[in-house]
Amino acid sequence: MALYTYGGNGSAVLTDTAGNVIPDYPVIVRVAGTGQPVTALYEADGTTPISELRSNTAGQDSPGAIRPFKVADVLGIQYEYNGLSGPVRWFEQGREVGAAALSGLGAKLDKSGGTITGDLNIEGTLTVDGQPGGATFPRAHIYNVADRGAIGNGVTDDAPAIQAALNAARDAGGGTVLIPAGTYRLASLPLRIYRNTHLRCLPGARLIRALDTTMLINGDAGQNYGIYTGHGNITVEGGTWDMRGTVVTASSMCMSFGHAEGITVRGITVLDLPGYHGVEFNAVKNGRVLNSVFRGYINPGSRDFSEAIQIDLAKSHDEFGGFGPYDDTPCVDILIDDCTVGPSGTPGTTSWPRGIGSHSASPNKQHRDIRIIGCRFEGCLQYAIGAYVWSGVVIDDVQLRDCAGGIRIRPLTSATASQRTPAGGTTPTITGSQPVTGYAISNMTMIGGGTFDAGIRGDGEETGYIGALAISNVVCKDIAGSAVRLLYCEDYSVQQVVAINAGSTAISQFGVRRGRVQGCTVNGTGGAGIGLDSRATPSATATDVTIADCMVTGAAANGISVWDGADVTITDCDLHDLTGAGVQISANTARPVLRDNRTRNCSTANISVSSTITGAVRWNNTGDAPTAQSVATAANTTAETVLASWSIPAGDAADRCAYRFTAQGVASTTGTPTLTIRVRLGGVAGTVVAAFTAVTTAAGIAGRGWRVDGSLLPIAPGASGTWAGGATLTHHLASTTGAVQHELTDAPVTRDSTSSQALVVTAQWSAASASNTASASVGQLTRTA
């Protein structure tokens, strides 16, 4: 009877679909591939029977983990437990299977017998044991480090024996190097791996660092392979790589790969690393980090920005100390899939500052075609993902818990001269930043954290806009900052963001242009629900942003706030129970459009539009109050100034629809200037439809006519009142007649009903001077019939 060990490893943990551990829960064990239940389970001693296997209780050191146990004569198992949606299963190979297979190979090659006296060399593919759990080795040459003298007792320096096996694979043109279960102390470092090598650590293999330097690097010091021509086609698989950063404290890499094509790191665990990175890709093409875990970090000083997985370029010895050349080669085609970054729980350690990212750059050198899929980040001290000078990026299905920051997208930072200086240079070759483009971020959850930065931050510059950005299906809950914060972004879409209890403005935009925020939900925020600020930015005259189909409630400020900019549309939004206005538009915003918005229970106003706004259009909003809202102001000028402009749709003339707007004048305190308001059809230089002159004591204004398609549509009288003290007069463009009370010009015009035309209202004061305080404003245009 052969006993095989299972459980007691980092993957043998019972979790739900959200990654939460499930303590004290029964686990079924089945034979892999057949589904047959395994009922004879033994404790790790191999003799004590287990009546029921359960995950560790909440009071144990590793709640939810499955303790080590043994099974007789079964090479591979499937765990099973009943989840909410049915049975959940996962596979594990017996810890002794690989070593047993190698032992068997040492005595027999086939049924007729044979003896292996040295390393195993086979043409084609070797499969050990055809049953589930058997090992397949894809290379022709297999080297067991035990045959080179590795002991795995945790005391002897096993690095020379492992290096000897790696050298043998190199000399043979490639091969598979096997490290059986055991604890391997590495005091002669770094290990150097060469092209066409598969380094496979069998289950139970643990490598512990005993020297202040990198554990594994691809090639030799002093080599000079440029671009992607260095040692590639390398796979590192399995093993726990313990950096022991609290004991061996100097900043070091775990694995470092440079100037190579085809690097795969799969199924590794990196523990307690000091200072640098778990896996670094520097000038790598076609790099993969798959199904790996990075836990525990020690900051030896001034390293509060290190990434567990770093993507870097060959810029200088400071960026990559292993070897050159330093030719500014970036990374291309990088996939990071099913990885976890978080704390280890070792005293004296923290979680990583950043999970995945970059922090070096050169002009015109962008990392491109990067995919981060299905990863989880816990407790990161800065960002989970820092996409610095990346283009062509997909980030999907990522989970963040209690991370201080989420995802940051950043072009080259112009504030740092070294980032604007190419490899080998002494001075910058560009004066600002450079644009980056192509980002798809989807299916992200961020729970807790946010004390360092937003859930998603697009951190562009005026000289380095972030373009072609799509954000969708994002949930941020109980974070200290914004859910989404976009600065200097263009051609972007933010859809289906749910932000619950954000510490500041939930969706914040500054200096952006040509964007759309749609279908987002905000419930509880320390600032506004959705903000859009174009002040003193390139987007001030061309913002072109639409906010549509969003809901905001429970905000400590306005539901939607807009400052400055042009051509902003807010449509079909629900805004209620707010400390502030439902919609606040202020500071010289030009041509905003508000339509079909529903507002209620707002502490200041349902819709508040500053008097400095020009060309506003408001349509079918529940919070509209025509006589109380002003959208444009002209003060103390003898020139004819446009107060507001609207586009009248083509069909309205034929339909003989009526329009309504408000006009308001404030009298001078030092004189009696005369205010003339004109209505023009066809723009500022168009035909005067009607004009009137009203002094500060005017009792009312009426009109005689506006001819459309040959039909006379008189301007009916509005409410009586005066222009003094801010009184408001309302004028209707309707099909009724009215008496002439003051000077008015009858100027019939003919309008083409097949195309839209601009309708503008202008104001002009006479006898204006610097001491006058006279002003005029015009409110919304509303279709009334």
Q: What is the mean pLDDT of residues 224-229?
A: 93
Distance CA(435)–CA(409), nearest Å, equals: 11
Q: What is the mean pLDDT of residues 4-9?
A: 88
pLDDT-derived band of residue 79, with 50, 70 and 90 as boundaries? confident
> CA dist 221 to 199, 213, 563, 599, Å?
20, 13, 56, 67
Residue 208: which residues within 8 A CB-CB, separation 6 or more?
Answer: 154, 183, 184, 185, 186, 242, 244
Residues 511 and 564 placed together within one structural domain of the fold: yes
Cβ count within 10 A of residue 770: 6
Residues 650 and 758 placed together within one structural domain of the fold: yes
pLDDT-derived band of residue 673, with 50, 70 and 90 as boundaries? low
Report pLDDT digits (tens) over 310-351: 999 999 988 888 888 999 999 999 999 999 999 999 999 999
CA nearest to 230, candidates 176, 281, 168: 281
End position of a domain, from candidates 582, 600, 625 = 625
pLDDT higher at 764 or 163: 163
Residue 471 lies in a domain: no
Q: What pLDDT score was predicted for residue 514?
A: 98
Residues 573 and 668 placed together within one structural domain of the fold: no
Question: How is residue 275 annotated by DSSP?
Answer: B
Residue 657 lies in a domain: yes
Residue 673 lies in a domain: yes
- Would you say residue 645 has pLDDT above 70? no
CA nearest to 339, candidates 439, 269, 274: 269
Total residue length of the chain: 785
Q: What pLDDT score was predicted for residue 212?
A: 94
Report pLDDT digits (tens) over 684-739: 677 666 544 443 333 333 332 233 333 333 333 333 334 444 444 444 443 333 32
- Would you say residue 202 has pLDDT above 80? yes
Q: What pLDDT score was predicted for residue 671?
A: 55
What predicted TM-score, i.e. pTM, was given to this entire model?
A: 0.72
- Would you say residue 130 has pLDDT above 50? no
Q: What is the mean pLDDT of residues 288-300?
A: 97
Q: What pLDDT score was predicted for residue 708?
A: 33
Report pLDDT digits (tens) over 500-523: 999 999 999 999 999 999 999 999
CA nearest to 604, candidates 622, 574, 582: 582
Q: What is the mean pLDDT of residues 69-73?
A: 91
Residues 677 and 598 placed together within one structural domain of the fold: no
End position of a domain, from candidates 95, 111, 130 = 95
Question: Could you give the angle at the alpha carbon of 305 between the alpha carbons of 193 and 380, nearest 5°?
Answer: 95
Residues 601 and 688 placed together within one structural domain of the fold: no
Q: Which of 161-175, 499-513, 762-776 comes out lowest in average pLDDT? A: 762-776
pLDDT higher at 108 or 252: 252
The 3-state secondary structure of 704-727, one letter per residue? CCCEECCEECCEECCCCCCCHHHC
Distance CA(744)–CA(725), nearest Å, equals: 23
- Would you say residue 626 has pLDDT above 50? no
pLDDT above 90: percentage of residues in the chain = 58
Distance CA(565)–CA(590), nearest Å, equals: 6
Residues 666 and 697 placed together within one structural domain of the fold: yes
Cβ count within 10 A of residue 141: 21
Q: What pLDDT score was predicted for residue 429?
A: 96
- Would you say residue 134 has pLDDT above 60? no
Q: What pLDDT score was predicted for residue 497?
A: 98
- Would you say residue 768 has pLDDT above 70? no
Residues 686 and 738 placed together within one structural domain of the fold: yes
End position of a domain, from candidates 95, 120, 135 = 95
Distance CA(780)–CA(486), nearest Å, equals: 30
Distance CA(498)–CA(225), nearest Å, equals: 48
Residue 425 lies in a domain: no
Q: What pLDDT score was predicted for residue 655?
A: 37
- Residue-number span of the structural domain to which 660 is assigned: 632-783
Residues 643 and 540 placed together within one structural domain of the fold: no
- Would you say residue 629 has pLDDT above 80? no
Compute and round to an integer the Cα radius of gyration of the chain: 35
Residues 18 and 83 placed together within one structural domain of the fold: yes
Which position has the token pair 């070897």? 323
pLDDT-derived band of residue 104, with 50, 70 and 90 as boundaries? low
Residue 252 lies in a domain: no
Residue 466 lies in a domain: no
Report pLDDT digits (tens) over 233-279: 999 999 999 999 999 999 999 999 999 999 999 999 999 999 999 99
Residue 570: which residues within 8 A CB-CB, separation 6 or more?
Answer: 546, 547, 548, 560, 562, 583, 592, 593, 594, 595, 597
Residues 493 and 617 placed together within one structural domain of the fold: yes
Q: What pLDDT score was predicted for residue 348?
A: 95
Residue 564 lies in a domain: yes
Using DSSP, state whether 402 is helix, strand or coil.
Answer: strand
Amino acid identity, residue 288?
R
Residue 655 lies in a domain: yes
Residues 601 and 637 placed together within one structural domain of the fold: no
Q: What is the mean pLDDT of residues 605-619?
A: 80
CATH code of residue 644: 2.60.120
Residues 615 and 651 placed together within one structural domain of the fold: no
Is the Cβ–Cβ distance between 278 and 311 less than 8 Å?
A: no
Report the domain count for the chain.
3
Q: What pLDDT score was predicted for residue 737?
A: 31
pLDDT-derived band of residue 587, with 50, 70 and 90 as boundaries? confident
Average pLDDT taken over every residue of the chain: 82
Q: Which of 17-31, 139-153, 319-333, 405-419 comes out lowest in average pLDDT? A: 17-31
Distance CA(436)–CA(326), nearest Å, equals: 23
Is the Cβ–Cβ distance between 118 and 144 less than 8 Å?
A: no
Q: What pLDDT score was predicted for residue 630?
A: 40
Distance CA(532)–CA(195), nearest Å, equals: 52
Q: What pLDDT score was predicted for residue 78?
A: 84
Q: What pLDDT score was predicted for residue 711?
A: 35
